[in-house]
Amino acid sequence: AQTVTQSQPEMSVQEAETVTLSCTYDTSENNYYLFWYKQPPSRQMILVIRQEAYKQQNATENRFSVNFQKAAKSFSLKISDSQLGDTAMYFCAFMKHVHSNDYKLSFGAGTTVTVRA
């Protein structure tokens, strides 16, 4: 079974600054997918970024980027130029590779990010 660990329950960042959220996972799989989801107070789960384990290049989506360290089983999210609208709970999630019939997303406990004006 896969486990996903987010060790930071809460993070606070000043507007326009940068914040990095940590995520580690445990798996015996070699190919898999990693995700970061954002859940603002509206509770809508929003896909922020996706990384394929067999790609060495770190994924980037505008102000959001990841640092994927496969050997260390680490998948951190960096939010640059933080905006008030980034205030949300952020979940790291794991999914097995496309050749698996298992589409289950395994989520970490989440990190609450508060952006201060």
Q: Give me the residues that bind another protein (CB under 8 A), please.
A: 33, 35, 37, 42-47, 50, 91, 95, 97-98, 103-105, 107-110
Q: How far is the CB of 53 from another protein (least distance, A)?
A: 11
- Where does residue 116 rank: exposed (0-12), middle (13-18), buried (19+ CB within 10 A)? exposed
DSSP result, 38-77: EE-TT---EEEEEEETT--SPPEETTEEEEEETTTTEEEE
Minimum CB separation of residue 36 from another protein in Å reads 12
Taking the least distance from each CB to another protein, the nearer of 73 and 97 is 97
**Residue with Cβ nearer another protein (48 or 79):** 48
Which C-beta is closer to another protein: that of 33 or that of 64? 33
Count of other CB atoms within 10 angstroms of residue 68 = 20
User: Looking at beta carbons only, is 16 or 109 nearer to another protein?
Assistant: 109
